[in-house]
Chains A and B, each alone.
Chain A
Amino acid sequence: MKANFSPSGSQPHFESIWSCYGVSQNSLIAYRASILANFKAGKALPAHFTGMRERQFEEYFEQCRKELDYVTCLQLLSAIEAILRLDFLGRVNKLRPNSKIDQAFRDIFEVKTFKVNLEEDILDKWKEYKPACVNEIGTLKQILRFRNWLAHGRYWQPRFPKYAPLQVYTIGKNLLDCLQILNGT
């Protein structure tokens, strides 16, 4: 059974997210510096900052930095999921002869159709057919708990490590390189 599916083309692009993160981070640093310099020189600031003191600017920008980091981590992880799922559907539809993973994916799709589970169906199958990538897959599976925490509003105390964008980017890139999946750039 083929997957009757047309991609939206709206999925986040892994490398673009990483590049935008760098630009956003630098912009935030430059904006913070300009706000502090203007404040020190007694110049008017945007209304948003009215009544703030210097230490409050620091707190505010630190909060912005943390949010940027969280948003970037979530976007990177959702981009990885989209890449893995699109790759899965591509294999279901193209089914290259002699590709065991393509056949395994098609077998899963026959049963589950679009309700395939990223961890149990896609990542665990990759683990089985590409044992050289066991570590990379395992690391991504660990980080998915962090992804769920981000995606569901971070309202509970996490009992797992939090990751920085660079760690998420590295983990994702290592996995995609190991599986030899194009990362959508």
Chain B
Amino acid sequence: MTLHEFLRQKKSLSEARNDDKLYWKAKQHQWLSAVKDLYGDIQKWLQSSIKQGVVTVKTTPKIITEPYLGSYEVEKLEIQVGEETVSIDPQGVELANVLGEVMIYGQAGQAKLWLMPAHHTDENKNVWCLVSLFANVSDIMDSLANLRKGVKKTFPVLDRNSFAKILMSIMQPNIDES
């Protein structure tokens, strides 16, 4: 290898690394904006309960560390209902084939959401999809297991109804003790 070839190879490797960095940065930006939109949707879906003082919501900062992006700050959304809290907890963007992940943790279960790219869905935009729902009491849904087994599956898109279903599955069941 001549010096010129060596230097040229070094430059192209450096350009490739820069391209990779740009890719992750762009993906992070897209995901952070989608997380913000998700919080907006959730507050809209809970609007009447918030107005009536049944539910309060607040955001708290969280640091995420990922191999290519390093550490960065995001906000967790916490939904408070009496003594029970549900956390909408962003996990990051460095995942294969999806644009980012958010977990929803309740006291009786958890759900996983992925931001799916438009070409993976029937929508013409990126959408939040429910990938798995593990509740202690009833529902267990894992579309991911099917996907990895090679079963073609469209994940349910997150909307007002599916969000309601998630909350009712991952929160403690109401037991009337009176």
Contact = CB atoms under 8 A, between A and B. Distances in A.
Given A50-B144, A51-B114, A44 B23 contact: no
Interface string A33-62: 000000111101101111111100100000
A35 to B, nearest CB: 8
A44 B16 CA distance: 17
Given A40-B68, A41-B19, A54-B67, A49 B97 contact: yes
Looking at B20, B67, B95, the one whose CB has the most chain A CB atoms below 10 A away is B95
Nearest to B94: A53
Contact of A48 (B23, B98, B150): B150
Interface in B1-27: 16, 19-20, 23-24, 27
B165 to A, nearest CB: 21
B148 interface: yes
A42 B98 contact: no
Given A39-B96, A40-B68, A45-B96, A51 B101 contact: yes
Contacts of B20: 40-42
B131 interface: yes
Interface of B, helix, strand, loop or mixed by DSSP? mixed
Interface string A47-85: 111111110010000000000000000000000000000
Contacts of B147: 47, 50
B99 to A, nearest CB: 10
B24 A42 contact: yes
Nearest to B66: A53
A44 B97 contact: yes
Nearest to A41: B20
B96 A49 contact: yes
A51 B20 CA distance: 19
The bracket for how many chain A residues form the interface is 10 to 19
9 contacts: A39-B96, A44-B97, A45-B96, A48-B148, A48-B150, A49-B96, A50-B148, A51-B95, A53-B94
Contacts of B16: 41
Contacts of B131: 51
Looking at B96, B97, B144, the one whose CB has the most chain A CB atoms below 10 A away is B96
Given A41-B19, A50-B96, A57-B96, 9 more contacts: A39-B96, A40-B68, A42-B20, A42-B23, A42-B24, A45-B97, A49-B97, A50-B97, A50-B144
A51 B98 contact: yes
The bracket for how many chain B residues form the interface is 20 to 34
Contacts of A44: 97
Interface in B118-163: 131, 144, 147-148, 150
A45 B117 CA distance: 14
Nearest to A38: B96
Contacts of A40: 20, 68
- 9 interchain residue pairs of minimum CB distance: A42-B23, A50-B97, A49-B96, A45-B96, A52-B96, A51-B95, A54-B67, A40-B20, A48-B148
B128 to A, nearest CB: 14
Interface in B68-121: 68, 92, 94-98, 101, 114
Contacts of A50: 96-98, 144, 147-148
A48 B23 CA distance: 22
